[in-house]
Structure 1
Amino acid sequence: MQLKQMNNNVKDYLRDSEILNYSDEDIQKKALELSQHSENQFETVNTVYEFVRDEVPHSLDIGGQILTFRASEVLRKCQGICFAKSNLLAAMLRFLGVPTGFCYQTLTHEGGYVLHGLNAVLLDGDWYRLDARGNREDVDAQFSMDGEKLAFPVSHTGEVDYPGIYSEPVESVVKSFNDAENVDEVMEKLSEARI
């Protein structure tokens, strides 16, 4: 699939924001700690990615109901669903100077469909998608520049892989989180969310 950068200015993919809030000291400290031994941008991206993927549990995998969304909140409470984890990953990578955007898929889920969020990073002039959702027995997502290894490759009728790379989380996702009080509620709202 040909990915499409939705904002012409690559600096838009490095910006701080209310949601990504990488001006937060804890985000900066963790990002610097994770990247201190990296010899290049690929190693930096991979190390930060593996931290978010492996050390910040997906709420559904641990039965968590705490709703997190802002990057600093995800780091402090150490859990979140895919969108929350993608916000934390984007915040840390942007702080470290790696242009990072947001990508989406519509996937089958519990007899219907649900929106799924992941990231894309700009390395050596090309965008690469990576999914920090978190691995489990049936999920083996990896960061690769030699072919995508996403958590959920689109493979069922009705599923959609959207090519857009957005500089901020899309409005339907932000609204779903703003209108929910726990993980179950946001998952229900995300089943109706569209790009």
Structure 2
Amino acid sequence: MNYISPSYYFDFESDVIQKLISEFKNERFSNKEKAIGMYLKVRDNWRYDPYTISLAKESFRASVIAQKSTGNCVEKSILLIACLRALGLPARLHLGKVKNHIAVERLTEKYGSNELTPHGMLNVYLNNKWLKLSPAFNKSLCEKFKVAPLDFDGENNSFLQQFNSEGNLFMEYTADYGHFEDVPLEFMKKNIKEHYPHIFNTGEDIIEFRL
């Protein structure tokens, strides 16, 4: 498997991605410091938005996502993967299904469920091991819902906010679809249409909407 090269989706040779990583293209940063720095940059500089979905192929290109101000979990993971690969760090997409337990009224109303799928995170290879991390929830959003933001120390997994600060269940993984070398768009389309047929029932491959 090749987890370091560019692709149509992880187009890190583009000017916008090169600009995004420019501060970390410096030998004074260790690989661990580069990974942590890029994680925090992507986590907090793109506001999490689960209510905008596009199945258009170009919507999942890192260079396209980088030019937006928001992103869902898959989009933010793709962006971070591209940045990590651009810095020479092996990274790959990891997908699953999650259930939210806080602030789910709007999700349930629009999706017919408090489960989100596919939920995106990523794996990065540091110090001879693969680590799971999720840059989805920006710090300001976490503060709003009284959940500690997910930090990443470059040594341990950082992908699950199980409880909020009051001890209430916040999020749980209900399925793990595994990791992927590149963005599995056809798998993602099939998964979305199977879980949300009332939204994606037109038979079109490219559907965009804002809830």
Residue 168, structure 1, aligned to residue 168, structure 2: no
User: Using a 3 Å threshold, how does the CA distance of structure 1 residues 38 and 169 change in structure 2: closer, same or farther?
Assistant: farther
**In structure 2, C-alpha distance between the alignment counterparts of 1:96 and 1:126, rounded to whole Å:** 17
* Residue number in structure 2 paired with 1:192: none
- Of stretches 80-89 and 148-157 in structure 1, the one that deviates more from structure 2 is 148-157
Aligned mates of 2:160, 2:22 — CA distance in 1: 26
Gaps of 5+ in 1: 1-8, 185-195
Q: Is 1:51–2:78 an aligned residue pair?
A: no
Q: Which has the higher strand share?
A: 2
Query: Who wins on radius of gyration, i.e. which is larger?
Result: 2
Superposed displacement of residue 126, structure 1: 0.3
2:152 to 117, 134, 143: 143
Number of residues of Structure 1 aligned to a counterpart in Structure 2: 170
TM-score by length of 2: 0.69
CA–CA distance in 2 between the matches of 1:114 and 1:66? Answer: 12
| Change in 2 beyond 3 A, CA 1:99/1:179 | same
Q: Give SS of 1:150's match.
A: coil
Deviation per CA, 1:82-133, whole angstroms, max 9, x where unpaired?
Answer: 1111111011110110000111221125334222100110012100011010
Equivalent residues of 2:98, 2:172 under 8 A apart: no
Mapped pair 1:122 → 2:125: yes
Cα distance, 1:52 vs structure 2: 0.3
* Cα distance change on mapping 1:158 and 1:143 into 2, 3 Å: closer
Gaps of 5+ in 2: 101-107, 164-168, 194-204
Deviates more, 1:49-58 or 1:102-111: 102-111
Q: Report what 1:4 is aligned to.
A: none
Q: Quick one: distance in 2 between partners of 1:165 and 1:158?
A: 15
Distance 1:33 1:39, change over 3 A: closer
Q: Which amino acid aligns with 2:182?
A: E
Q: Which region of structure 1 is more displaced relative to structure 2, 145-154 or 26-35?
A: 145-154
CA distance in 1, matches of 2:173, 2:133: 22
Q: Who is 2:103 aligned against?
A: none
**CA distance in structure 1 between the aligned counterparts of 2:148 and 2:28, rounded to whole angstroms:** 26
Deviation sequence 1:33-90 (CA, Å, 0-9, x none): 2444752000000001100001111124xx7x48542111111112210111111101
Counterparts of 2:206 and 2:151, CA distance in 1 = 32
TM-score by length of 1: 0.74
Aligned residue runs from structure 1 range 33-182, under 5 A: 33-36=23-26, 38-60=28-50, 65=52, 67=54, 68-109=59-100, 110=108, 111-115=113-117, 116-135=119-138, 136-137=142-143, 138=147, 140-153=149-162, 159-162=174-177, 164-170=178-184, 171-173=186-188, 179-182=206-209
